[in-house]
């Protein structure tokens, strides 16, 4: 599944930890925005890890799920191009 994740974390140290976790699951696109291609298991693990770090009264993390037919419709102007997650075996 393709997920866009945005976050607003009030404390620098916590924000850095969240950023590092998200970077291991997807591609950093903008300051507080990641794009991730995840399996159900990866998503569950990621959500669990993030839930343990945030302070719900101060922080927020949002998950936007894009359907298979919506993903190819993403348009970009400028910025870093997304990684090619296709793996080819010889």
CA 47 to chain centroid: 10
Residue 83 confidence (pLDDT): 61
Residue 37 confidence (pLDDT): 93
- pLDDT per residue as tens, the chain (90 positions): 999 999 999 999 999 999 999 999 999 998 899 999 999 999 999 999 999 999 999 999 999 999 888 777 777 787 666 665 554 444
Q: Where are the alpha helices (DSSP H) in the chain?
A: 12-23, 40-53
CA 25 to chain centroid: 7
Query: What is the fold of 2-73?
Result: Alpha-Beta Plaits (3.30.70)
Residue 12 confidence (pLDDT): 94
48 vs 81: CA distance, rounded Å: 29
């Amino acid at each position: 599944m393709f997920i866009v994740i945005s976050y607003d974390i009030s404390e620098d140290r916590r924000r850095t930890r969240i950023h590092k976790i998200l970077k291991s699951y997807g591609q950093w696109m903008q300051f507080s925005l990641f794009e991730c291609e995840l399996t159900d298991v990866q998503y569950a693990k990621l959500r669990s890890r993030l839930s343990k770090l945030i302070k719900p009264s101060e922080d927020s993390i949002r998950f936007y799920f894009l359907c298979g037919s919506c993903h190819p419709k993403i348009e970009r102007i400028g910025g870093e191009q997304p990684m090619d997650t296709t793996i080819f075996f010889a």
